[in-house]
């Protein structure tokens, strides 16, 4: 049975002769940022199915492809889609793509997601840059770092006092202002899903200090920080989670809201990447 390090070496070894380039910036296109793939001058495109040890995503709107190319003149590796715990994937599988970016030489990763707005000041379609998170699954034991630790990849007890790089957060705000885009900043709380939360659960999450809630991102951030990558992440508010005025969730409407906000987040990330 190969170790995680051996799996990463095999996957990276498979990709290097196919991408024929290097990149310092890796991008994970979650819900709300899929259109950014169209902005990349693609030099190589590889399906997740072809990459050793990398499962295929089953989520609607996630293509499941590894792209290499240039974005706004900058060499990038792009993961068009991600894996989630609610699909039945293990934590090792969920964070494998981000670990692969690190193994290929990336030093910075950009993440995106769709999230429910817990902060009552937030509106549908708002974009938020993450400054912290609450790892509910991890606090209950579902962490990508549980198990044996390879010191070559990262420390046994990685510090998480600054999971999201402060300089990159400031850079995101500066870039948004130049583009005349509204950018909020706040705390993301992760749940496993796939069922959405009850009224009581929304009250609980708001009381914890979360501004948005979603079902991804945090494990990838932990793995990225474990391997020394800098992280900047964005959420698109795709539904409003006011427990006193809660409407029945409509996944099609959530995806529609994400798609409507995509051009703004795409503009922001496209302008941000050359500065990373």
User: pLDDT tens digits for 17-59?
Assistant: 999 788 999 999 887 677 888 899 999 999 888 999 987 665 5
Q: Look up residue 86 and give its two tokens.
A: 């609610």
pLDDT number for residue 70: 95
Question: CA-to-CA distance for 26 and 253, rounded, in angstroms?
Answer: 29
The domain spans of the chain are 4-275
Domain 4-275: CATH class, spelled out:
alpha beta
Kind of pairing between the strands at 230-240 and 127-135: antiparallel
Rounded-to-integer distance, Cα 13 and Cα 15, Å? 6
Q: How far apart are CA 267 and CA 2, in angstroms?
A: 41
| CB neighbour list of residue 171: distance below 8 Å, 6 or more residues apart | 232, 272, 275, 276
pLDDT surpasses 60 at 158 = yes
pLDDT value at residue 62? 47
Q: What 3-state class would DSSP assign to 49?
A: helix
Beta strands in the chain (DSSP E): 25-28, 41-47, 65-71, 74-80, 108-117, 127-135, 184-190, 212-214, 230-240
Q: 165 and 232 in contact (C-beta within 8 Å)? A: yes
Residue 188 in tokens = 């993301």
Question: Which structure tokens are listed for 203?
Answer: 């009250």
Has residue 145 got a pLDDT over 90?
yes
Burial 117-143 (b: 16+ CB within 10 A, else e): bbbeebebbbbbbbbbbbbbbbeeebb
pTM of the model: 0.94
């Amino acid at each position: 049975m190969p170790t995680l390090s051996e799996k990463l070496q095999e996957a990276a070894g498979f990709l290097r002769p196919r991408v024929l380039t290097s990149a310092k910036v890796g991008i994970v296109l979650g819900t709300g940022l899929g259109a950014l793939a169209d902005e990349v001058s693609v030099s190589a495109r590889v399906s997740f199915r072809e990459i050793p040890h990398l499962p295929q995503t089953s989520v609607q709107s996630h293509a499941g492809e590894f792209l290499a190319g240039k974005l706004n003149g900058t060499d990038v590796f792009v993961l068009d889609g991600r894996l989630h715990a609610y699909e039945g994937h293990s934590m090792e599988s969920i964070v494998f793509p981000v670990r692969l970016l690190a193994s290929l030489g990336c030093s910075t990763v950009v993440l995106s997601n769709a999230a429910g707005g817990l902060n009552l000041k937030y509106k549908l379609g708002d974009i938020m840059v993450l400054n912290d998170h609450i790892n509910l699954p991890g606090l209950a034991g579902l962490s990508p770092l549980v198990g044996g630790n390879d010191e070559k990849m990262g420390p046994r007890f990685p510090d998480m006092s600054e999971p999201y790089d402060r300089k990159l957060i400031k850079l995101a705000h500066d870039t948004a202002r130049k583009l005349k885009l509204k950018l909020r900043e706040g705390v993301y709380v992760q749940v496993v899903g796939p069922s959405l939360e009850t009224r009581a659960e929304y009250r609980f999450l708001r009381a914890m200090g979360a501004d948005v809630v979603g079902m991804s991102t945090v494990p990838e951030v932990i793995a990225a920080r474990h391997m020394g990558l800098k992280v900047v992440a964005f959420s698109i508010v795709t539904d409003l989670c006011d427990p006193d005025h809660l409407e029945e969730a409509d996944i099609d409407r959530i995806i529609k809201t994400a798609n409507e906000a995509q051009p703004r987040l795409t503009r922001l990330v496209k302008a941000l990447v050359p500065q990373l």
